[in-house]
Amino acid sequence: MPSITRPCRNRGCPNSQPCPDHPDNKEYDRHRGSAASRGYDRAWQKARSVKLTNDPLCERCQRIHNRIRAAVLVHHIKPVDLYPELRLVRSNHESACFDCHEIMEGRKADESI
């Protein structure tokens, strides 16, 4: 019986099987720590909820692409690992759709989503 291989789990990767460029998510998660240890605790969940309630549309789509898309994530303009003191500061938050957030995080090339 042939073995079944799964495609790479990294979104957008064209490889039809797991690849060395994108480690297994479980292994990656073990090294980076829990969400709470990275600053995404209850206080962040509340701040995120307030931001998405007040600004439910992707701010980048409106600003750059002149279109309306629902925001599903909140992006830290200045990254938490470099500016932990700005983690909950509203002026450091930007509502984003999934595609724009991937672009802002450098995980996806801007292909005029």
Longest dimension (CA), the chain: 57
As a whole number, mean pLDDT of residues 77-105 equals 93
The rounded percent of the chain whose pLDDT value lies above 90 is 50
Question: What pLDDT score was predicted for residue 23?
Answer: 62
- At residue 85, does pLDDT exceed 60? yes
Per-residue pLDDT band at 110 (split at 50, 70, 90): low
The rounded percent of the chain whose pLDDT value lies above 70 is 70
Kindly report the average pLDDT of the chain as a whole number: 82
Residues 6+ apart with CB under 8 A from 97: 58, 60, 61, 69, 70, 71, 72, 73, 113
- At residue 55, does pLDDT exceed 80? yes
